[in-house]
């Protein structure tokens, strides 16, 4: 074909292939950078611990120096290898290694977080659609959506647990405390979805909205075929925030409401018996961090897959 | 009496009436367009040519006067999907493949999937991009995207095609290429075309009639009939073309001087 536009296309396709390869390379590099970062963090920790012995001595000799810097003894900063080793130790009074226990607890917390995350998507999206539908609703309600996040989560968590036990007995299944923790997580997750979702629903350009109008498409059709698909990259950005927030919400919910079985409860207990096993607290905190990173990576992968199939890129 | 494709009678448009930022965009517009005509609206910026096109499309409502499309009110024509529209920016949905972009209006009209797919294939052949149905718009050049947008606007065989500076963002070579494409589609489909541009050669090359508009407030200064016959690569280098270009330019000069 002697069409100059089609000839140009060949060049573009080659460029696109190179782009894709470069993107794959970037992904690998990110993993490498992250691994190096973790290792460097470990060395910094250990290095400070060795170097800090001198500071400790100085603080003992001159109490006036105070204790601004963290103490480096094994109680305050257990050696890294001890912390890692602790995962394979079977704590007294139990019959499983700590790593296995933490994994089970992480799954318990993950369930709370996942339910809270999904509920947050549904609630947040519903709010975003309602606000996108009506200017007046947006102006009237949006400040309250923002204000909702000024309520301290820790303060309402026990309330939600009590409220769930007393008032949610009408559901067709038996209400359990972990479900209340999911509600607490929802409180954190709906917000980014509502805010970003609204931005996304309002993101179509005027000419695209005019196009839909020229087809005599109603609001519902415009939502389904234009606004919602246009909002998907925004929703993924929100989902990444919401996913990590759902883990935070679940852990904080467990701690402040005293719900057992998950990582939040574990962190709380290990903090209480810190002096008899500081490594266990560190291990529990690491497990919590890994869970947060895990859900973030899951959403990021889903984002890459979904947007990639549509020939789009993630919002940066 | 044959029905006019477009009938505009003493139409005026005021934006923000009664407010400090009130703008008299159009006054006393009378224009009849017959089926099969290719009419270009040309004029300096602020002359209201795009506004006039949007009035025909019933995307905005006139302050005074009436507009009929195919013998019915402009709004009814919009609801009946009597026209297709192409904008300066292609405005393709980047999450849809090229084929599914073309199928968008058909989906909205409730066409069956198999018919939609058959139709989008036909349209892709028509704009000579048959092999690009599965591509995403971001992979295509601006000129190709604009061709897809035109295919989309023609997919449901509207009797009227409204084009708002569709080639404004393209380079000169691509632009001339696209002009031939549009002329070919126009003669193959028999669609009436209303085309907004600010390029004099483009207006002359494409139209059967050039409507010259003047600004502040927008009104029709004069209309110039054009008959270049079958266009080809030499048309733009021949005397009749230059004469018409000169005539339109003179009309625009007069408008600016006034």
Q: Which of A5, A205, A232 has the CB atom closest to B143's CB atom? A: A5
**What's the pLDDT score for residue B239?**
79
- Phi, psi values for residue A29, rounded to 5°: -65, -40
Q: Which residues of B touch A4 (CB under 8 A)?
A: 173-174, 177
**What's the pLDDT score for residue A68?**
63
| pLDDT tens, position by position, B176-187 | 888 888 888 888
Structural domain containing residue B210: 1-64+161-258
Q: Does B254 touch chain A (CB under 8 A)?
A: no
Distance CA B195, CA B175 (A): 14
Position B227 in a domain: yes
Question: A37 and A141, same structural domain?
Answer: no
Question: A265 and A222, same structural domain?
Answer: yes
Computed over every residue of chain A, the mean pLDDT equals: 87
Question: Which A residues in the span 168-227 are in contact with B, Cβ-Cβ below 8 Å?
Answer: 205, 207-208, 210-211, 213-217, 221, 225-226
Question: B118 and B206, same structural domain?
Answer: no
State both tokens at B116.
Answer: 């939609």
Report the residue of chain B nearest A4, measured CA to CA: B174
Give residue B1's pLDDT band: very low, low, confident or very high (50, 70, 90): very low
Contact A312 B173 (CB under 8 A): no
Contact present, A145 and A127 (Cβ < 8 Å): yes
Question: A89 and A46, same structural domain?
Answer: no
Position B49 in a domain: yes
Report the residue of chain A nearest B103, measured CA to CA: A225
- In terms of Cβ atoms closer than 10 Å to its own Cβ (0-12, 13-18, 19+), residue B236 is middle
Question: B135 and B9, same structural domain?
Answer: no
Question: A27 and A129, same structural domain?
Answer: no
Q: Does B173 touch chain A (CB under 8 A)?
A: yes
Give residue B2's pLDDT band: very low, low, confident or very high (50, 70, 90): low
Distance CA A17, CA A265 (A): 49
Q: Which of A12, A207, A216 has the CB atom closest to B141's CB atom? A: A12
Q: Which of B59, B104, B141 has the CB atom closest to A8's CB atom? A: B141
**What's the pLDDT score for residue A303?**
93
Question: B179 and B251, same structural domain?
Answer: yes
Give me the helix-helix angle, A177-201 and A135-148, nearest 10°. Answer: 140
Structural domain containing residue A205: 80-309
Comparing A152-161, A209-218, A283-292, B33-42, the range with the smallest average pLDDT is A152-161
Position B221 in a domain: yes
Question: B113 and B176, same structural domain?
Answer: no
Give residue A2's pLDDT band: very low, low, confident or very high (50, 70, 90): low
Report the residue of chain B nearest A306, measured CA to CA: B95
Question: A98 and A57, same structural domain?
Answer: no
Question: A148 and A53, same structural domain?
Answer: no
Position B205 in a domain: yes
Question: A214 and A89, same structural domain?
Answer: yes
Q: Does B60 touch chain A (CB under 8 A)?
A: no
Q: Does A316 touch chain B (CB under 8 A)?
A: no
Beta-bridge partners for B83:
B160
Question: B24 and B135, same structural domain?
Answer: no
Question: B171 and B126, same structural domain?
Answer: no
* Residue of B91, B130, B151, B162 best to disrupt the A interface, most CBs of A under 10 A: B91
A77-94 mean pLDDT: 86
Question: A140 and A248, same structural domain?
Answer: yes
Question: B134 and B167, same structural domain?
Answer: no
**What's the pLDDT score for residue A1?**
45
Q: Does A68 touch chain B (CB under 8 A)?
A: no
Comparing A180-194, B106-120, B123-137, B228-242, the range with the smallest average pLDDT is B228-242
Contact B78 A216 (CB under 8 A): yes
Question: B171 and B145, same structural domain?
Answer: no
Final residue belonging to a domain, choices B157, B190, B205: B157
Min Cα separation A219/chain B (Å): 12
Segments of B70-216 assigned E as strands: 72-73, 83-86, 160-164, 192-197, 209-214
Side-chain-side CA neighbours of residue B56 (13 Å)? 33
Position A75 in a domain: no
Question: A188 and A279, same structural domain?
Answer: yes
**What's the pLDDT score for residue A284?**
93
Question: A9 and A99, same structural domain?
Answer: no
Contact A9 B141 (CB under 8 A): yes
CATH of the domain at A86: 1.10.3720.10
Position B233 in a domain: yes
- Helix or strand (DSSP H, E) at B23: strand B23-33
Q: What is the pTM of this model?
A: 0.83
Contact present, B248 and B212 (Cβ < 8 Å): yes
| pLDDT tens, position by position, B4-39 | 888 888 888 888 888 888 888 888 888 888 898 999
Rg over CA atoms, chain A: 25
Question: B242 and B134, same structural domain?
Answer: no
Position B254 in a domain: yes
Position A143 in a domain: yes
Question: B180 and B106, same structural domain?
Answer: no
Q: Which of B93, B105, B128 has the CB atom closest to A226's CB atom? A: B93
Contact B143 A213 (CB under 8 A): no
Question: B119 and B2, same structural domain?
Answer: no
ipTM of the complex: 0.84
Position B238 in a domain: yes
State both tokens at A314.
Answer: 């993630």
Position A244 in a domain: yes
**What's the pLDDT score for residue A130?**
94
Report the residue of chain A nearest B135, measured CA to CA: A311
Q: Which of B87, B132, B147 has the CB atom closest to A207's CB atom? A: B87
CATH of the domain at B239: 3.40.50.300
Question: Which A residues in the span 218-257 are in contact with B, Cβ-Cβ below 8 Å?
Answer: 221, 225-226, 229-230, 232
Structural domain count of chain A: 2
Position B11 in a domain: yes
Side-chain-side CA neighbours of residue A7 (13 Å)? 5
Q: How many beta carbons lie within 10 A of that of residue A315, not counting itself?
A: 16
Position A297 in a domain: yes
Distance CA B28, CA B219 (A): 7
The end-to-end CA distance of chain B, in Å, is: 37
Give residue A221's pLDDT band: very low, low, confident or very high (50, 70, 90): very high
Contact A6 B128 (CB under 8 A): yes
Final residue belonging to a domain, choices B107, B140, B157: B157
Structural domain count of chain B: 2
Distance CA B126, CA B191 (A): 14
pLDDT(B231) > 80: no
CB contacts < 8 A, A to B, total 87
Contact present, A261 and A250 (Cβ < 8 Å): no
Question: B143 and B107, same structural domain?
Answer: yes
């Amino acid at each position: 074909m002697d069409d100059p536009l089609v000839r140009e296309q060949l060049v573009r396709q080659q460029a696109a292939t190179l782009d894709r390869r470069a993107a794959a390379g970037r992904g690998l590099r990110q993993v490498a950078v992250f691994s190096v970062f973790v290792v460097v963090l470990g060395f910094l920790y250990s290095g400070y611990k060795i170097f800090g012995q001198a500071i400790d001595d100085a603080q003992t000799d001159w109490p006036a120096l105070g204790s601004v810097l963290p103490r480096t003894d094994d109680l305050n900063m257990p050696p890294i290898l001890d912390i890692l080793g602790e995962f394979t130790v079977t704590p007294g009074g139990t019959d499983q290694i700590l790593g296995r226990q933490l994994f089970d607890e992480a799954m318990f917390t993950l369930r709370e977080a996942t339910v809270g995350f999904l509920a947050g998507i549904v609630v947040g999206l519903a709010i975003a659609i309602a606000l996108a539908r009506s200017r007046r609703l947006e102006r009237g309600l949006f400040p309250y959506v923002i204000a909702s996040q000024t309520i301290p989560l820790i303060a309402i968590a026990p309330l939600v647990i009590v409220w769930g036990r007393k008032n949610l007995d009408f559901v067709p299944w038996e209400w359990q405390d972990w479900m209340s923790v999911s509600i607490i997580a929802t409180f954190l997750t709906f917000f980014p979805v509502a805010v970003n979702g609204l931005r996304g629903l309002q993101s179509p350009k005027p000419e695209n909205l005019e196009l839909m109008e020229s087809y005599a498409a109603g609001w519902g059709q415009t939502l389904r075929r234009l606004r919602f698909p246009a909002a998907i990259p925004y929703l993924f950005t929100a989902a990444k925030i919401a996913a990590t927030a759902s883990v935070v919400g679940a852990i904080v919910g467990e701690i402040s409401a005293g719900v057992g079985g998950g990582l939040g409860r574990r962190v709380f207990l290990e903090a209480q018996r810190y002096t008899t096993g500081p490594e266990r607290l560190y291990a529990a905190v690491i497990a919590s961090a890994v869970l947060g990173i895990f859900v973030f990576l899951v959403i990021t992968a889903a984002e890459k897959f979904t947007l990639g199939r549509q020939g789009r890129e993630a919002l940066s | 009496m044959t029905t006019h494709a477009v009938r505009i009678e003493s139409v005026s448009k005021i934006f923000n009436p009664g407010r400090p930022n009130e703008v008299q965009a159009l006054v006393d517009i009378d224009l009849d367009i017959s089926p099969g005509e290719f009419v270009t609206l040309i004029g300096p910026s602020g002359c209201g040519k795009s506004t006039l096109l949007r009035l025909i499309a019933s995307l905005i409502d006139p302050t005074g006067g009436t507009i009929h499309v195919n013998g019915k009110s402009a709004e009814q024509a919009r609801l009946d999907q009597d026209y297709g529209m192409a904008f300066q920016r292609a405005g393709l949905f980047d999450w849809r493949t090229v084929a599914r972009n073309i199928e968008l209006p058909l989906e909205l009209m409730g066409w069956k999937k198999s018919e939609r797919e058959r139709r989008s294939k036909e349209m892709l052949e028509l704009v000579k991009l048959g092999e690009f149905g599965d591509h995403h718009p971001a992979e295509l050049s601006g000129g190709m995207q604009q061709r897809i947008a035109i295919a989309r606007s023609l997919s449901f065989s509207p009797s009227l095609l409204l084009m708002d500076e569709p080639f404004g963002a393209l380079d000169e070579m691509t632009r001339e290429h696209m002009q031939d494409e549009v002329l070919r589609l126009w003669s193959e489909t028999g669609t009436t075309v209303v085309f907004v541009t600010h390029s004099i050669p483009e207006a002359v090359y494409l139209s059967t009639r050039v409507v010259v508009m003047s600004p502040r407030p927008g009104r029709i200064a004069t209309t110039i009939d054009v008959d270049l016959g079958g266009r080809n690569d030499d048309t733009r280098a021949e005397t009749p073309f230059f004469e018409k270009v000169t005539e339109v330019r003179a009309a625009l000069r007069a408008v600016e001087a006034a």
